[in-house]
Structure 1
């Protein structure tokens, strides 16, 4: 069924398109009340709804926000996107979701795509391979387009929503140390990511606080995917460790899968702590102890801050740093002796 246009209502009422447009857009006009009601009734009977994109292009207000994420299959981004969408719907904004495939080149392409689509602002989760130089290039492009933006989970620019990853890494590692573990493997994310560096800093801080040396041979790099978690554990075979701190829950799940393949039990043989607290974590065969990130709240806060900027351009954005919470379940064993 085709979309009803102003032309259809004009023909239906035998009135001009100008008159129909003025009435339906609630603009001042010298049209009689009876004619106005006739137009409104026709719009109702024909199930007319305005084309928001067309109206937006004419008024420069599309009420649409762009959201760029690295990989929507990563549950972190799925939940964050839900938070963004809920906040936008409450404020009568639409969301246009773009997946950059975790490359800076993809980020730049999506910025162009969103600008061409007339979005009013962008919520930007930079790709995993972003460098300082890449971030500045993205910022310049957004400024050239004149598009306000909020950065999530990195702080290369002034407008950002952050998570205290150092404290998160510290809480996870300290929990393992408190349960008697001194040989703790660390499954890191991409090394250039600020979030990875924060987690690792917390991992090191917990060791230092406990007077324990960090064994760099127990640190291995992944890409936050389940497959990379399994591969990271394979890389650790032959080394001595009793516990694993995984950079996110997806890597932890991959590690669990690999451990099960090798008939290694969790937590009886190896303890493991994840990161994020995605919904499936508590439904695993061994419910996963993990560090909770309030992903939906982070997304909602980013959306509210951006909408605030759009409504009051001179408004200073409130920077927000979210704190981690350790969620204790069943994947950590206390070592005795």
Structure 2
């Protein structure tokens, strides 16, 4: 015999409407009642449909340990609430991302998390978000928002991140500090550049724009930017990601120089693996745990039809000092 909500309601001694609210994670059910319904479902072997339980996490950078860590933590935080995180790797703003979202919407996805996907790109095609909004499917962003939609956004304070890196290098005695930045039009990259330029201006550096080189968020991008900065005789480099920082280290070494003997390097993201590279990387760490928990908390609330404060919530990063930074040789 197939078990339905009628049998579950009878076993838990509640109404069918209450069982439906528990199954669909709606508000208005006490913790004690919810526990009784969940216990009844387990005892009767009620098979909960996965339809409406899937939360898609759209991200382009699973090869980057930072994004893999965030995605895994979001998935773990959603699980206790009966939601299943599904990773959807897609290039930001591309047709693949839109097709992912459209297909998931057709199959009853509960919500979508844009983890540094098209939400990080200026003037991204809004069709993806319009599909979700039209079907009343909640969505949130990490490190980037949505033009025309007042969805919650959870971001690391990129201005503060740049200030922490510059302050550390200046305190060591560096005065010729360059930045290997991400591409123009990428919101986090643009913010980090703004923060870097402001940090240099506060320290009296003239024409700070000359110390910024824009490239891709890759090892090769970091190496290329470093090659340009070394021709300007920098003694330290602030990289816009840990991967770019690894490229910066390779670029320094290919010029016959050493890190940190000749050039200091600071990364950004803070993946644990950066403690074990050579040399261990000084980096500005994004607060991965707090970001993931707040993203999951927001998704659970939205799926349950509870209100969530709109707009962007900023999280403070922290500087992790390791062996890739030291006083300049001249000091």
Partner of 2:3: 21
Pair 81,25 (structure 1): closer, same or farther in 2 beyond 3 Å: farther
Matching of residue 106 in structure 1 with residue 113 in structure 2: no
CA distance in 2, matches of 1:136, 1:102: 12
Partner of 1:84: 74
Partner of 1:168: 161
Partner of 1:228: 221
- What are the within-5 Å matches in structure 2 for residues 154-233 of structure 1? 154-156=144-146, 157-158=149-150, 159-233=152-226
Among candidates 317, 320, 334, match of residue 327 of structure 2: 334
CA distance in 2, matches of 1:151, 1:74: 18
CA distance in 2, matches of 1:63, 1:89: 10
Is the contact between residue 73 and residue 292 of structure 2 (CA under 8 Å) also seen in structure 1?
yes
Describe the superposition over 1:179-229 as per-residue Cα deviations: whole angstroms up to 9, x where unpaired: 221111110112112211111111112111111124434322222112211
Partner of 1:69: 59
1:255 to partner: Cα distance: 1.3
Partner of 2:47: 50
Partner of 1:8: none
Describe the superposition over 1:212-271 as per-residue Cα deviations: whole angstroms up to 9, x where unpaired: 124434322222112211222233343221110000111101111222233311111001
Pair 132,206 (structure 1): closer, same or farther in 2 beyond 3 Å: closer
Is the contact between residue 276 and residue 290 of structure 1 (CA under 8 Å) also seen in structure 2?
yes
Q: Match of 2:124, SS? A: helix
CA distance in 1, matches of 2:127, 2:221: 29
How does the TM-score come out when normalised to structure 1? 0.80
1:51 to partner: Cα distance: 6.3
For structure 2, the 5+ residue unaligned runs are 12-41
CA distance in 2, matches of 1:216, 1:128: 27
Q: Match of 1:256, SS? A: helix
Pair 49,252 (structure 1): closer, same or farther in 2 beyond 3 Å: farther
Structure number with larger C-alpha Rg: 1
CA distance in 2, matches of 1:116, 1:281: 40
| Two-structure CA RMSD over aligned residues (Å) | 2.6
CA distance in 1, matches of 2:235, 2:111: 47
How does the TM-score come out when normalised to structure 2? 0.81
Q: Match of 1:274, SS? A: strand
Is the contact between residue 155 and residue 162 of structure 1 (CA under 8 Å) also seen in structure 2?
no
Partner of 1:97: 87
Describe the superposition over 1:272-302 as per-residue Cα deviations: whole angstroms up to 9, x where unpaired: 1111111121112211111010123312210
CA distance in 2, matches of 1:325, 1:162: 14
CA distance in 2, matches of 1:128, 1:263: 39
Is the contact between residue 283 and residue 319 of structure 2 (CA under 8 Å) also seen in structure 1?
yes
Partner of 2:285: 292
